[in-house]
Structure 1
Amino acid sequence: MKTILVTGSNGLLGQKITAQLLSHKQFHLVATSKGKNRFPVKEGYKYAEMDILDKENMEQVIAQYRPDAIIHTAAMTNVDPCETEKELAYQLNVGAVKDLASICEHYQIQLIHLSTDFVFDGASGPYAEDAIPNPLSYYGQTKLEAEKVLQNSSCNWVIIRTIIVYGIVNDLSRSNIVLWAKNALEKGTAINVVNDQWRMPTLAEDLADCCLLAVEKDARGIYNVSGKDMMSIVELVYRVADFWGLDKSPITEISSASLSQAAKRPVRTGFILNKAMTELGYNPHSFEEGLAVVDRQLKELNS
């Protein structure tokens, strides 16, 4: 059985990978994150504290467990803070990847790296893997630079780009657009939502599946991985309201230009998913099916 080490295991994707590895038991898992383990189940896998900004610490942990593959989910993903805290964004999103790539080269470890639709400018989405990147934000720039680091390295690399990941963790410590919209509309809170950006939101379980498929199939290269439904951000929020039977009157449609955000967002991203589906066997849920997964998990948490 292969051993997989996951960085950022306390995050949404990291926790979903942990859950899937524990239920399928087809790999040994070493979960790593900065600070204590927040996953509710503590048995059946190893946990190690690991700081991706400390190369020596990373080398120590990786040398100890000698994984066959590393799934690198840890990153600075909040787009606006990346504009204002560029040095930290660079260290987390590029510097850490350089260090990981060199460690993976040394130990001949497969490195699966999570990237983003924000490497594109959104002028001509949905995108195939070979489309020319042109990031509009510093976040997108750092993620593209990390992609280039891997493409120039001799480790066995996989880049999985994704879009708006949603889902829940057990302690509800992580929010995302689906939970934000649901919670606000349940309270009747007025919300402003942009109507001029289009995305293909991704269920965290689907993304976790695809990461594991990449290990299973010993994949190499770039894969664009998202949900299969394209929608505007405001349509996403309307569909959340419809799914849970919530009043839509608190929603006000606004344009992106009316928001004074530090980082520029692409207008229309989205992915052509044929490569991941054909080569990896990726099969994402529809958006409503994904909401049903979230609903079931929320009910389990509250029962």
Structure 2
Amino acid sequence: MATRDKHLFLTGASGLLGRAIYKKFITEGWVIYGTAYTRVAEGLHKLDLTDENEVKKAVIQFKPSFLIHCAAQRFPEKVDLDPEGAENININASRYLAQVVDCIQVPMLYISTDYVFDGKSPPYAVDAVPNPLNLYGKTKLNGEEVTLAFGKGNIVLRVPVLYGPVEYVAESAVTVLLNSLLQTDKPCKISNYELRRPSHVDDIADICLQMAMKRLEDENICGIFHWCGKEVFTKYGMLVQIARVFHLPYSHVTPDSNLPSATTPTPRPYDTTLDTSRLEQLGIGYHTPFNVGIKSALQSWIR
């Protein structure tokens, strides 16, 4: 690939996944225009993705060869608390980006979620009919729709719950479980019901890099793709793994195997296992064993 082709416009570059993607592409010699809004670290550009004019101006001036849209409101409860804000970032910003890359004929990769499915009939193929249970899943599905509507060569990559090196323990729904482990004086219950396949952000970053390189060489690399980790856990199962990796007590934590109430404010799907065969047929995909990934992610938080 020619050096001039290696120009990436990356939204959400200060986030959990964005940081991993930024690092991966930089090490492979790409020039990156990384955007952030509340956490503008060194080397990143402050950009309000809900400002259509600013978005289009930034993309056109940078002249990327590929765009990855990571930025999102990805916490379901926060989406419920601020549906308008979530719609702006998850749907409207996706539309602005898709429109501008369509104008300059550049492919876009949109990071989506397994929460577009209801979790009742896994594993989900790339052409399975989505049926999100919560507003978060609905906004991400709408973001997929605008991404694919404005650019026939665009890519949607659906991924599950992510974890990796965090700036604060609650940055990931996986690493936040450490808080319950460390608070040994506070007995608590952790869900032992919903099944999850956590993925390390470094694995997703590697997949994004491979997809970008393949897409720039082959216009048929487009549409919907899936990836998820190879190991299945409940939240309690992940907590037990973390406890074992760091030799922490967990007798104060009780597994809650009850079916979540239908009246739960933000319902979660039961099992959103994704069929990853479309990516694997391209020779793309890597899985970091959970005990290895979680050790590197949380080591600095263990005193």
Residue 36 of structure 1: how far off its partner (Å): 5.4
Aligned to 1:285: 288
Aligned to 2:187: 190
Preserved contact between residue 122 and residue 273 of structure 2 (Cα < 8 Å): yes
Task: Find 1:269's aligned residue among 272, 294, 300.
Answer: 272
Q: Does 1:7 align with 2:4?
A: no
Task: Find 1:73's aligned residue among 70, 81, 89.
Answer: 70
CA root-mean-square deviation = 2.1
The 10-residue stretch of structure 1 (155-164 or 97-106) with the greater mean CA deviation from structure 2: 155-164
Q: Matched residues in 2 for 1:191 and 1:204: separation?
A: 28
Q: Matched residues in 2 for 1:96 and 1:117: separation?
A: 20
Q: Matched residues in 1 for 2:263 and 2:130: separation?
A: 25
1:184-263 equivalences in 2 (<5 Å): 184-188=180-184, 189-218=186-215, 219-254=221-256, 255-257=258-260, 261-263=264-266
Q: Matched residues in 2 for 1:252 and 1:287: separation?
A: 21
Gap runs ≥5 in structure 2: 216-220
What is the letter of the counterpart of residue 114 of structure 1? I
What is the letter of the counterpart of residue 213 of structure 2? E
The 10-residue stretch of structure 1 (276-285 or 62-71) with the greater mean CA deviation from structure 2: 276-285
Distance 1:36 1:80, change over 3 A: closer
Q: Matched residues in 2 for 1:71 and 1:174: separation?
A: 24
1:106-121 equivalences in 2 (<5 Å): 106-121=103-118
Aligned pair count? 292
Q: Deviations over 1:149-184 (max 9, x none)?
A: 222223521101111101124x43752233222233
What is the letter of the counterpart of residue 16 of structure 1? A
Q: TM-score, normalised by structure 1?
A: 0.89
SS at 1:231 equivalent: coil
Residue 5 of structure 1: how far off its partner (Å): 0.9
Q: Deviations over 1:209-231 (max 9, x none)?
A: 11111101113111111211112
What is the letter of the counterpart of residue 18 of structure 1? Y
Q: Matched residues in 1 for 2:105 and 2:22: separation?
A: 23
Q: Matched residues in 2 for 1:67 and 1:280: separation?
A: 25
Q: TM-score, normalised by structure 2?
A: 0.89
Distance 1:260 1:249, change over 3 A: farther
What is the letter of the counterpart of residue 6 of structure 1? L
Q: Deviations over 1:167-202 (max 9, x none)?
A: 124x43752233222233134243321111001001
Preserved contact between residue 161 and residue 174 of structure 2 (Cα < 8 Å): no
Gap runs ≥5 in structure 1: none
Distance 1:138 1:222, change over 3 A: same
What is the letter of the counterpart of residue 37 of structure 1? V
SS at 1:115 equivalent: strand
Q: Deviations over 1:59-100 (max 9, x none)?
A: 111111110111100011110222232222211111111111
Q: Matched residues in 2 for 1:86 and 1:157: separation?
A: 26
SS at 1:156 equivalent: coil
Distance 1:295 1:174, change over 3 A: closer
Percent of pairs identical after alignment? 27
Q: Matched residues in 1 for 2:244 and 2:264: separation?
A: 28
Q: Matched residues in 2 for 1:20 and 1:90: separation?
A: 29
Task: Find 2:26's aligned residue among 19, 22, 29.
Answer: 22
Q: Does 1:166 align with 2:169?
A: no
Aligned to 1:97: 94
Residue 258 of structure 1: how far off its partner (Å): 5.6
